[in-house]
Amino acid sequence: MELSITKNATCTFCGCVCDDIELHADGERIVETKRACILGEAWFKNHTAERLYPDALIDGQPATLDDAVEAAAEYLYNAHLPLVYGLSNVTCEAQREAVALAELIGGVVDSHTSL
């Protein structure tokens, strides 16, 4: 299979956020990294495009994305003080959406920084 090459990819494993990584991928997994350190290389190789997990779980049982989204919305909507927490290993775009959601549900939004 032909390898795809991505240049100037960005590693988000640590705060260095190195953006000079070259990634060779075979469609499902990254088979080679250039310039990444050991931690970065492990990070890239540890995530694949395989379907290793169900789309979603509700109460531990496989569920569809739609059902899971509805269930999540229901829980958050009904809560008095929901918490939106984490925001470390996600993009700024996701963080923006998370703040918007926290505002909509009248919750608290917090990150790793507070730990």
Partner 1 sequence: MLRITGGKVYDPANNINGQIKDICISDGRIVSEVEGGRTIDATGMIVFPGGVDVHTHVAGAALNFARAMIPEDHRRNAPYVRGERHRGGIGGATPTTYVTGYLYAGMGWTTVNEAAVPILSARHTHEELRDTPIVDKSCCVLLANNEILLDLLEAGETERARHVAAWQIWAAKAYGVKAVNPGGVAAWKWGKDAKGLYEPVPGYNKVTPAKIIAALASIVDDLGLPHPLHLHCNNLGAPGNYNTTLETMKVLEGKRAHLAHLQYHAYGGDDWFTMRSKSAEVADYFNAHPNLTTDAGAVLFGNTVTITADGPWQHLLYKLTGRKWGNLDVENETGCGIVPYVYKEKNLVNAVQWAVGLELLLLINDPWRVFLTTDHPNGAAFWRYPEIIQLLMDVNFRREQLKKLAPKALKRILLPELDRQYTLSEIAVITSAGPARALGLAHKGHLGIGADADVAIFNDSKDIARMFAYPRYVIKGGEVVIEEGEIRKAVEGRGYVVRPVYDEKIEDYIRPLFQQYYTMSFDNYPVELERLENPDIRSC
Partner 2 sequence: MGGKVTCTLGEVKNRADLIVYWGGNPAECHPRHFTKYTLTQKGKFVPKGRKDRTMILVDIRETPSAKAADIFLQVRPSKDFEVLTTLRALIKGQRVSAETVAETGLTLEQLQDFAERMKKARFGVLFFGMGLSMTRGKHMNSAALLSLAAELNAFTKFVAMPMRGHGNVTGGDVVMRWTTGYPFGVNLSRGYPRFNPGEFSTVDLLLRGDNDAALILGADPGATMPQPAIDHLARIPTIVLDPKVTHTSRLARVHITTAATGISAPGTVYRMDEIPLPLRPALKSPYPTDEDVVRRIYKAVAKKPAWFPGTK
Element (H, E) at 45: helix 38-46
What is the Cα–Cα distance from 105 to 96, expressed in whole angstroms?
A: 15
CA dihedral 115, 75, 82, 106 (to 10 degrees): 140
- Examine residue 42 and tell whether it contacts partner 2 (CB under 8 A): no
Residues 67-86 that bind partner 2 (CB under 8 A): 68-73, 75-86
The least CB distance from residue 38 to partner 1, in Å, is 21
- Examine residue 30 and tell whether it contacts ligand SF4 (CB under 6 A): no
The side-by-side arrangement of strands in the sheet containing 21-25 is: 4-9, 21-25, 30-34
- Examine residue 23 and tell whether it contacts ligand SF4 (CB under 6 A): no
Residues 7-46 that bind partner 1 (CB under 8 A): 7-8, 10, 19-20
Q: Which residues bind ligand SF4 (CB under 6 A)?
A: 11, 13-14, 16-18, 36-37, 39-40
